[in-house]
A and B are shown apart, each in its own frame.
Chain A
Amino acid sequence: MSLEEPTPGSATEVGVTEQGLDYDAIESLLGDLVVGRESHVNAESFVVRPDRVAAALDRLKNRAGFDHLSCVTAQEYEDRFESIYHLKKYADPTHEVNLVVPTGRENPHSQSGNAVFRTADWHEREAYDLVGIEYDDHPDLRRILLPETWQGHPLRLDYDQEQPQVVAFREHANPLQQDQRDDDTDTMFVNIGPHHPATHGVLHLKTTLDGEQVADVDPDIGYLHRCEEQMCQQSTYRHQIMPYPDRWDYISAGILNEWAYARAAEDLADIDVPEYAQIIRTMSAELCRIASHMLAVGTFALDVYGDFTAIFMYATRDREIVQNILEDLTGQRLMFNYLRLGGVAWDLPDPREEFFEKTRDFLDDLPAKLEEYHDLITGNEIFQLRCVNTGVLEPDVAKSYGTTGPVARGSGIDYDLRRDDPYGYYPDLDWNVVVEDGCDNFARVLVRLREVEESAKIIEQCLDLLEDWPEDDREIQSNVPRTLKPENDREIYRAVEAAKGELGIYIRSDGTDKPARFKIRSPCFSNLQALPEMSEGEYVPDLVASLGSLDIVLGEVDR
């Protein structure tokens, strides 16, 4: 059950019927704003004019209850540019609708959705950066992933990748070299990162401090922009894309990411997955989630205590065990490359009994270890001082930024795609969605620790099922064509619940064996966007704690 107060008007949401969504009712709600209609594989889409985007988003949000802007995808066609707004509901993510905004090839302009959804801010900046669509009324339209001096928009059709890039030396001049004192203000500008132990990678926070308090913080990302979307667009569906998802959220959450791609591509190309493979996927995904949360908790403690010893070492000790199990299963320690379209790469390792025993041993030891974590972390007074009532993220703010995963659940938003938009073997298993309504750093850590318990429950049930599975029925992969060529112009957006939240993939096929557009909606991107809301007015150490509690991975933020 959701911990939120039921919002007035949610009972009268337009278009909700017993069977699902009545898109005709939504179309009539949008009325004259709609100029066309398209069918995507995941949902119906309405085409709106580029100057009526905010009005359409507003109606969908406030009258039809689509309060979650998952993703904004921009792409170029031969004859036009297009932005797609993928909308969902936090209450029921199976209710989906897309808003398609075409603009002309010459000088593409489109209205910004930032006034309705804050999450559109960064997504549109990214669309501007990579595809080059300009968004009118956008508060701060500048490049986000690439350096400000970059020439051209790399995901355009005519982009020349061989062209050299020139950067003037003053772009890299040290901002601290000169005395930055300003007579008018008492604030001080401080760079945190991109090389800083508390930024969890190469994140750059431009912070303005008023004494010890944060007056303003501007996350500057793009120091790990590895062109993942381009890499996927030039790889074939069947085998070449699968290694890349491992490298988005690289904190050994590989199988969760792979599943995001597998789910989207399987739905796009109508591929079935055998039940046995679904169970293996579910089990291995939850093992990954445990490994990921362990590191999240370990590095969070590192941030708060500055402690490279006890808690971090405990966390890596337990991660090593999970990684060993996953290595037995997949053959790799970190980049598993284990899922295949239509199943998994291979069956459980031989001898199976040994694998079951090893995994069960780990699960048996887990409750005692979690007790240790609670003693070391959540029961610690210093930790509580730093985390209780700091980094507060109110549910409505969290929703506006499109946060998901433990960040949303720590703000009392009862949203988990494993349950709400079921996939894999999750619907047949007995487990709970963890929700805390503290809205602070402490709640987010609690959610992660408790989620480890739920993951353990899932793994245990999967182990039971796998152990009793008849030997002649262990089908690990369904029949998949050697070369996958989904029909021309099929479009899909599908998401799974990764360790950090909703990891979604948008794919458009063009009839070839490679996707025409591959867009990754990463949970960390939207979660990080909420950081200024959480930390303005707080102390610097609380900013660091807030950043740690978001559990970002820069590989996934920058893609």
Chain B
Amino acid sequence: MGEGVDARFNSKLREAFGSTPFILTKFDKFMNWVRGSSMFMLQFGIACCSIEMMHTYAVKHDLDRFGAGVPRASPRQADVIIVPGTIVSKFAPRMKRVYDQMPEPKFVVGMGSCTISGGPFQEGYNVIKGAEEVIPVDIHVPGCPPRPEALVYGVAKLQERVANGETSPVTVKPYELEQFGDLDRDELVQHLASQIDEEDLVMRYNWAESP
């Protein structure tokens, strides 16, 4: 044991390390372990799933026990965004902005069927068919809504993957920004051509071709 340390500091971990106060590991590995062990979650409520997400943070399930229970109201202080609910066309760009504001490295847990695929509302005229059209998702937690236990499992899995340096963002597909002039001149574009500046970037929700 090191000198001057009282009994309270002589934990099991300390015993396992032996008498040396040094650990030898790769820096990357250490950083991954650190990241996985202290997840700062964005306080982000969209729909039904957010009620179960609140329960996950609250007394009975207590996500804090897993080192992932610091809900932050600002995206600048968070590194995990749980997307709990249906994303519709009006909200998608706002969610992307919130995601963009989070510092790197950042991780996404997609909670519930709507975030995965649009869920029960997939056939709606306004519903984005999954968060992955907008931001890359690391873990999907299925359910409508998933129980708090399921979300805890999903977050724990994410932590495990982050700690192993395994998590890799999925490529974001059809939601795209493009020059207005590059668009196919279909009926809608013809109609809008007079109103939109050709230099302007546009975002296109392609309902027919999204999965």
Contacts and interface: CB of A to CB of B under 8 A. Distances in A.
Interface of A: 145-147, 150-151, 154, 159, 161-170, 172, 174, 194-197, 200-202, 222-228, 230-231, 234, 243-244, 247, 250-252, 295, 308, 312-313, 316-317, 319-320, 333-335, 554-555
B37 to A, nearest CB: 22
Contacts, number: 163
A150 B97 CA distance: 20
A316 B86 CA distance: 23
7 contacts: A172-B94, A194-B91, A197-B73, A202-B46, A234-B123, A313-B59, A555-B47
Most chain A CB within 10 A, of B47, B188, B200, is at B47
B73 A165 contact: no
Contacts of B201: 168-169
Contact of A147 (B46, B89, B202, B207): B89
Majority secondary structure of chain A interface residues (helix, strand, loop or mixed): loop
Given A167-B202, A172-B93, A159 B208 contact: no
Nearest to A227: B124
B54 A164 contact: no
A174 B127 contact: no
Given A163-B208, A169-B200, A320-B55, 4 more contacts: A164-B208, A169-B177, A223-B94, A226-B126
Contact of B127 (A150, A169, A227, A320): A227
List the 7 closest A-B pairs by CB distance, nearest first: A227-B124, A250-B48, A169-B201, A316-B58, A162-B208, A223-B91, A172-B93
Interface in B174-211: 177, 180, 183, 186-189, 191-192, 196-197, 200-208
B10 to A, nearest CB: 32
Given A166-B188, A197-B43, A202-B46, A334 B207 contact: no
Nearest to A226: B121
Contacts of B26: none
B59 A320 contact: yes
Given A147-B89, A197-B73, A313-B58, A165 B207 contact: yes
Nearest to B205: A165
Nearest to B203: A167
A231 B51 contact: no
B156 interface: no
B200 to A, nearest CB: 5
A316 B89 CA distance: 32
A145 B125 CA distance: 12
B130 interface: no
B132 interface: no
Nearest to A170: B200
A125 to B, nearest CB: 15
B147 A333 contact: yes
A224 B200 contact: no
Given A194-B94, A230-B124, A231-B120, A317 B60 contact: yes
Nearest to A252: B51
A320 B126 contact: no
Contacts of B59: 313, 316-317, 320
Nearest to B44: A195
Contacts of B75: 195
Interface of B: 43-48, 50-52, 54-55, 57-60, 71, 73, 75, 85-86, 88-91, 93-95, 97-98, 120-121, 123-127, 144-145, 147, 177, 180, 183, 186-189, 191-192, 196-197, 200-208
B91 A231 contact: no
A317 B54 CA distance: 12
Contacts of B125: 154, 159, 161, 227, 230
B50 A201 contact: yes
A172 B202 CA distance: 10
Given A146-B90, A151-B191, A335-B144, A244 B45 contact: no
A99 B48 CA distance: 35
Given A163-B207, A166-B203, A226 B51 contact: no
Given A195-B94, A224-B85, A164 B60 contact: no
A224 to B, nearest CB: 6
B121 A224 contact: no
A202 B84 CA distance: 11
Contact of B47 (A166, A222, A317, A554): A554
Nearest to A194: B94
Contacts of B180: 166, 168
B89 A226 contact: no
B69 to A, nearest CB: 11
B89 A165 contact: yes
Contacts of A146: 89-90, 126
Contact of A168 (B51, B55, B202): B202
B47 A250 contact: yes
Contacts of A163: 187-188, 207-208
Nearest to B209: A164
B183 to A, nearest CB: 7
Contacts of B124: 226-227, 230-231
Contacts of A228: 121
B207 A226 contact: no
A224 B203 contact: no
A92 B50 CA distance: 37
A31 to B, nearest CB: 42
Most chain A CB within 10 A, of B97, B121, B197, is at B121
B148 to A, nearest CB: 8
Given A169-B201, A316-B59, A162 B207 contact: yes
Nearest to B121: A226
B126 A168 contact: no
Contact of A334 (B52, B57, B93, B127): B52
Contacts of B203: 166-169, 172
A244 B196 contact: no
A222 B200 contact: no
Nearest to B75: A195
Contacts of B204: 164-167
A308 B41 CA distance: 14
B145 A223 contact: no
Most chain B CB within 10 A, of A166, A167, A555, is at A166
Given A166-B189, A313-B59, A335-B145, A174 B97 contact: yes
A243 B145 CA distance: 12
A224 B144 contact: no
A147 B91 CA distance: 9
Contacts of B46: 201-202, 224
B48 A335 contact: yes
Most chain A CB within 10 A, of B43, B90, B127, B177, is at B90
Contacts of A145: 90
B51 to A, nearest CB: 6
Contacts of B95: 195
B191 A334 contact: no
A331 B60 CA distance: 19
A296 to B, nearest CB: 12
